[in-house]
Amino acid sequence: MEYVKLGNTGLDVSRLCLGCMGFGEPGRGFHKWTLDEENSRPIVKKALELGINFFDTANVYAEGTSEEIVGRALKDYANRDEIVLATKVFSRMHEGPNGSGLSRKAIMSEIDKSLTRVGTDYVDLYQIHRWDEHTPIEETMEALHDVVKAGKARYIGASVMHAWQFQKALHVAEKYGWTRFVTMQNHYNLIYREEEREMMPLCQEEHIGVIPFSPLASGRLTRNPQESTQRSETDQVQKAKYDATAEADRIIIDQVAAIAASHGVPRAQIALAWLLQKAPVTAPIIGATKIAHLEDAAAALSITLTPEEIVLLEDSYVPHPVYGSNAGFK
């Protein structure tokens, strides 16, 4: 496993991050394909054996049960001081007023609930899951600063927003001397590259660590379009992200298949190898629900694509509708 600094910090993270949205009590929350605790734990253990020290979850994943499962597994299998644990806040966690969003009240309440679920007294990276259009960014940034100063989070990060919103948040933090975002968790892969227009250059200029989710486009980059899985049949979020451009994306998926065949490796390794070569990507978030997913991801670290292969993968890309801001949840 390779390790790099997380953005402009001194924190060392593995070049792969295990995304934990796929862990949780089945039937809870947005997704119906999550793994229960018994089937989640071997994947967490394997990630640790491969050298992955970076784990990403969220309060909303499977209604909090993802945090619980991940917290218990890491407590049993890992040294807390070696683990970089990330979670998120924004999504609706209970009905009625103040059940979601990035108000000071919501942030202060949700950080404590997340810490209880993961069973630690701090998280390493506390991220806002979306931009809150109904709360002043000054209120959000000051509350996050206070979370850090209280020792409940070491760093803060952002996820899925427009570049102008992210720049505004960075400016507000600098203006008032508050804790600054060090990461951007965005939607970025071979068939969704809209982030290259503004967000990626901004992150590179500001020395922000990019930790993209959906690096394999919810599995679409790993199989033939006609093949289906439980997730592809039931995950409405991935349908919203990719169905509208499926025909155009097929050309890129075919190129991934051809290059994978020439290397004698699974397609996932080529899609990840491309992403790992894109600055300023720090650590793609791998949503593994099988041991083989982790093994493919680790193997991708040893693949270097040639400039000619990168051109083949990129040249057929066509503009996609922006999937960002508050347009759905990953």
Name the residue among 184, 142, 166, 129 with its Cα closest to residue 6: 184
Name the residue among 191, 187, 111, 116 with its Cα closest to residue 154: 111
HSE toward the beta carbon, residue 303, CA cutoff 13 A = 25
Q: Is the dihedral of CA 126, 326, 286, 211 positive or negative?
A: negative
Catalytic residue among 3, 61, 122, 192: 61
The pair of three-digit structure tokens given for residue 298, joined into one six-digit string: 């680790």
CB 26 within 8 A of CB 312: no
The pair of three-digit structure tokens given for residue 92, joined into one six-digit string: 């609706």
Judge whether 61 counts as a catalytic residue: yes
One DSSP character per residue, 152-193 reads SEEEEEEES--HHHHHHHHHHHHHHTPPPEEEEE-B-BTTB-
Beta bridge partners of 126: 87, 156
Other C-beta atoms within 10 Å of 197: how many? 11
Quote the DSSP letter at residue 284.
Answer: -
The Cα–Cα gap between 319 and 107 comes to 35
CB 103 within 8 A of CB 139: yes
- In degrees, rounded to 5, the angle at the alpha carbon of residue 15 between the alpha carbons of residues 13 and 16 is 100
Enzyme catalytic residues: 61
